[in-house]
């Protein structure tokens, strides 16, 4: 019994660290985005992640499973939405807005996944989920508007915020496509192939962006950010999250996702000296509370959210 309790404590620690790592991806992305083009940064991040995930898949499965022909298009679409599109929007947005604001906007992902599942798969929206959706959307509007709703209505959403909203559209698409994929392929294999296909998709725009001649000019800090994004923020964090789902179930494991925006805001303040004002704090409380209510009974999706 003591050993089992100790195993669970290790899983809880890994899930908490996963949330910290995913919060850290917004800081690392903000750093890399100042030095690299969006396609270049995305390609390098997932080239690193793909190598490690493919090696981990080989070790876990004893081989690299070859997907059935009917799964090739869904796996390609996972790479197109959750890796290529998401990360181009991610780098474009983080070039323009603070990591803390971006992490709070992205924290509303579970709300839109729940809405998408209700529309496409007729999932039941319970009263707590509906309350969570309302809270999360209210918090996101406060964060996006910086607490100035009349100003938002008059001037519209900023360019950086629009790009981060593109992250949400991409991740919701990825999650809903992944729902079908996971009926036939394990999460680890699905994510490994999604990362690989996304990296291949990103290669052409990265080269067109001038990545190769720019490589020697990237700073050591930017390379460290890319290694963090690829190794820790993508591959290792996913493996730990997958271990949490396996040990605790998806509902209990997903609760830890709500620490992601908290760590994003704190790390943005500590590392990048980003300002934390009252509207950000109030919006954060609403977003996190709403995401928790919405995410109490999440649908399975391949991977995390950053």
Strands annotated E in the chain:
none
* Residue 4, C-beta contacts closer than 8 angstroms, at least 6 positions apart: none
Count the neighbouring beta carbons within 10 Å of the beta carbon of residue 297: 14
- pLDDT for the residue numbered 301: 56
- Give the angle subtended at the CA of 137 by the CAs of 131 and 139, to the nearest 5°: 100
What confidence tens digit (pLDDT) does each residue in 257-298 have?
A: 777 888 888 899 899 998 888 888 888 888 888 877 776 655
- Alpha helices in 122-186, H assignment, sequence order: 127-145, 149-155, 159-181
Q: 178 and 78 in contact (C-beta within 8 Å)?
A: yes
- pLDDT for the residue numbered 231: 94
Rounded to an integer, what distance in angstroms lies between the CA atom of residue 130 and that of residue 79?
30
- pLDDT for the residue numbered 137: 80
Rounded to an integer, what distance in angstroms lies between the CA atom of residue 52 and that of residue 157?
37
For residues 38 and 3, the model is more confident at 38
Q: Please give the share of the chain, as a percent, with pLDDT higher than 90.
A: 38
Cα 18–chain centre separation: 11
Q: 158 and 97 in contact (C-beta within 8 Å)?
A: yes
Q: Mean pLDDT in the chain?
A: 84
What confidence tens digit (pLDDT) does each residue in 167-204 have?
A: 999 988 988 888 888 788 888 888 899 999 999 999 99
What confidence tens digit (pLDDT) does each residue in 64-79 have?
A: 888 889 999 999 999 9
For residues 232 and 144, the model is more confident at 232
Cα 101–chain centre separation: 14
Rounded to an integer, what distance in angstroms lies between the CA atom of residue 289 and that of residue 284?
8
CA of 225: how far to CAs of 24, 159, 187, 219, in Å? 10, 23, 26, 10
Q: Is the pTM of this model over 0.75?
A: yes
Is the model's pLDDT at 4 over the cut of 50?
yes
- pLDDT for the residue numbered 295: 65
Q: Worst-scoring range by mean pLDDT, 12-26, 73-87, 211-225?
A: 12-26
Q: 37 and 217 in contact (C-beta within 8 Å)?
A: no
- pLDDT for the residue numbered 299: 47
């Amino acid at each position: 019994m003591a050993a089992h309790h100790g195993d669970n404590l290790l899983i809880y620690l890994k899930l908490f660290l996963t949330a910290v790592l995913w919060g850290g991806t917004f800081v690392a992305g903000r750093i890399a985005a100042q030095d690299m083009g969006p396609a270049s940064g995305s390609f390098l991040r997932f080239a690193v992640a793909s190598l490690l995930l493919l090696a981990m898949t080989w070790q876990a499965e004893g081989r690299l499973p070859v997907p059935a022909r009917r799964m090739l298009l869904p796996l390609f679409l996972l790479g197109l939405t959750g890796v290529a599109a998401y990360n181009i929007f991610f780098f474009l947005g983080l070039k323009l807005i603070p990591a803390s604001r971006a992490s709070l906007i992205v924290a509303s992902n579970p709300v839109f996944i729940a809405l998408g599942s209700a529309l496409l798969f007729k999932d039941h929206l319970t009263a707590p989920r509906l309350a969570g959706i309302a809270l999360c959307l209210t918090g996101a509007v406060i964060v996006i508007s910086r607490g100035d709703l009349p100003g938002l209505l008059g001037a519209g959403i900023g360019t950086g915020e629009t790009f981060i909203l593109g992250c949400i559209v991409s991740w919701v698409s990825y999650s809903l496509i992944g729902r079908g994929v996971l009926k036939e392929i394990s999460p680890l294999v699905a994510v490994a192939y999604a990362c690989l296909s996304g990296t291949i998709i990103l290669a052409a725009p990265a080269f067109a962006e001038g990545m190769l001649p720019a490589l020697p000019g990237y700073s050591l800090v930017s390379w460290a950010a890319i290694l963090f994004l690829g190794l820790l923020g993508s591959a290792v964090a996913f493996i730990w999250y997958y271990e949490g789902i396996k040990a605790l179930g998806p509902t209990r494991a997903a609760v830890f996702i709500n620490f992601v925006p908290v760590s994003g805001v704190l790390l943005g303040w500590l590392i990048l000296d980003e300002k934390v004002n009252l509207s950000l704090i109030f919006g954060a409380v609403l977003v996190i509370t709403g995401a928790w209510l919405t995410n109490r009974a999440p649908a399975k999706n391949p991977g995390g959210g950053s």
